[in-house]
Structure 1
Amino acid sequence: MKKMKLSRVMFLAILGAWAIVLRTFDFPILPAAPFLKIDFSDLMVLIGLLTSGPIGAVIVAGTRDLLNYIMSGGQMGLPIGVIMSFIASMAMFLPTHFILSKLKKASINVKYALMSATLVMFLVGAMSLFNYYIALPWYVAVLNFPIPDLFGYLITIIVPFNLIKGIILAVGQIIVIKTLVPMMKKRNMLYEAYSFEKKSINSPDVRLSQSHG
């Protein structure tokens, strides 16, 4: 049992290392702010979630962001960027955990819709709050960023960027789940609290609904 646990932790650490590799392939998505870039390292965090639940997501995101901080040193030596990265990952995928573990009777399409909507909403909300109250004031005070209107910058730059990023990663989330979950089931790697079962026409719930139709 201990060996299995150790192998799972090693697997999650490897996912974190792969996330660092994916982070190098970043690209801008907002012409008004080419310095804000998106990458697909968060999909490794999603895989960690699917195999090991919330702790898996935390380990993968934490490994990625710790390695990133060690290699880059952060801004002025402070880990503002990596903290923001970790919060963004948790904001996107902890709602996914709740949906997959608590809404087991919902159809797979309903789950996809809820996971996509909550990913976008929580990402935009969390990043808006963190930027407005912590990151942007710090950038202005310490790095002398020319941002005279924090709220205007938030509405015109931060919110649109995270909205687009959220939509892209929501699509990526569905692709990853559709592609990898069947394989995870066969290899008994899917986190035990999650359900992706589709209701068949012969299931008790479907027969009951048909009898009342």
Structure 2
Amino acid sequence: MNNSKTKKMTTVGLLCAMAMVLNLLISFPIVPAVSFLKFDPKDIVIVIGGFIYGPLTSFVISAICSVLELLFRGGTILDILMNVISTCTFACTAAFVYKKMHTKNGAILGLFLGTLFCTASMTLWNYIITPIYYGMPREAVAAMLVPGIIPFNLLKCGINSGVTLFIYKPVVTALRRSGLVKESTGVSTGRSMAVIGGFMAVSVVLIICTMNGLF
């Protein structure tokens, strides 16, 4: 095994560990109408992995984290399925667009499209799977789509997109200094990207706080 492959495997393993730590430490509902759906920030790390190495890496990290989450938190095969679909429609879409359009605008466009695709796919899959998983009438799930499921996924992806833009440069810089990532790898995010990402994340957090009656 050559040195570059070893470094990639090490980096992917490190990103998996980071994603799982975030998943286990941070998990909470953000939309009152669907309190059974919980936000966790692991997708931020999974998107970063995809921006560095491509959409396949996002898929691999997502699959590994979903299986580990099942082992740590319990659940069923449906949990793995929903986790992988949610993460991959967001992270893999963003990584794929960025791979084709290797610019700052490509990163932003990828995250935007990932948000739309994730929201659309999870609206469909929650409508199909949630009645089976929770044993509730499909009509009840349909009634939760607009006030709950759709806003949850938009807000979740909005936070993840904003934080990704905000922290991407420091994370990749640290990986480069450690010798795990090549200098030429990754999107060139500067201060403006951090400002955009920070504004996005703070705006979504304020919306969530307002929805939960904290203001």
Same fold (TM over 0.5): yes
Residue aligning to 2:83: 85
Question: Amino acid of the residue matched to residue 13 of structure 1?
Answer: G
Deviations 1:173-210 (CA, angstroms, capped at 9, x unpaired): 21132333445556471596755389xxxxxxxxxxxx
Give the SS at the match of 1:145.
coil
Give the SS at the match of 1:32.
helix
Q: Does 1:153 find its partner at 2:144?
A: yes
Match of 1:136 among 130, 136, 152: 130
Question: Amino acid of the residue matched to residue 176 of structure 1?
Answer: I
Using the alignment, how far apart are the partners of 1:164 and 1:85 within structure 2? 16
Name the CA shift for 1:146/1:190 in 2 (closer, same or farther; >3 Å).
farther
Preserved CA contact (<8 Å) 1:115 1:170 = no
Q: Does 1:49 find its partner at 2:50?
A: yes
- For 1:1-213, list aligned pairs within 5 A: 1-24=1-24, 25-74=26-75, 78-104=76-102, 108=104, 110-133=105-128, 135-139=129-133, 143-145=134-136, 148-184=139-175, 187=179, 189=181, 195-196=187-188
Give the SS at the match of 2:136.
coil
Question: Amino acid of the residue matched to residue 160 of structure 2?
Answer: L
Using the alignment, how far apart are the partners of 2:58 and 2:183 within structure 1? 12
Number of residues paired by the alignment?
188
Using the alignment, how far apart are the partners of 2:176 and 2:14 within structure 1? 20
Name the CA shift for 1:10/1:172 in 2 (closer, same or farther; >3 Å).
same
Name the CA shift for 1:192/1:88 in 2 (closer, same or farther; >3 Å).
farther
Which structure 2 residue ranges, 5 or more long, are not aligned? 191-215
Which structure 1 residue ranges, 5 or more long, are not aligned? 199-213
Query: How much identity, in percent, do the aligned residues show?
Result: 25
Question: Amino acid of the residue matched to residue 188 of structure 2?
Answer: F
Higher helix share: 2
Using the alignment, how far apart are the partners of 2:35 and 2:172 within structure 1? 35
Deviations 1:101-148 (CA, angstroms, capped at 9, x unpaired): 2224x5x2x335413321220110111121122x12312xxx423664
Larger radius of gyration: 1
Shift of 1:172: 1.2
Using the alignment, how far apart are the partners of 1:115 and 1:166 within structure 2? 12
Name the CA shift for 1:180/1:193 in 2 (closer, same or farther; >3 Å).
closer
Preserved CA contact (<8 Å) 2:15 2:45 = yes
Using the alignment, how far apart are the partners of 1:18 and 1:98 within structure 2? 22
Using the alignment, how far apart are the partners of 2:55 and 2:27 within structure 1? 25
Shift of 1:12: 1.4
Preserved CA contact (<8 Å) 2:41 2:160 = yes
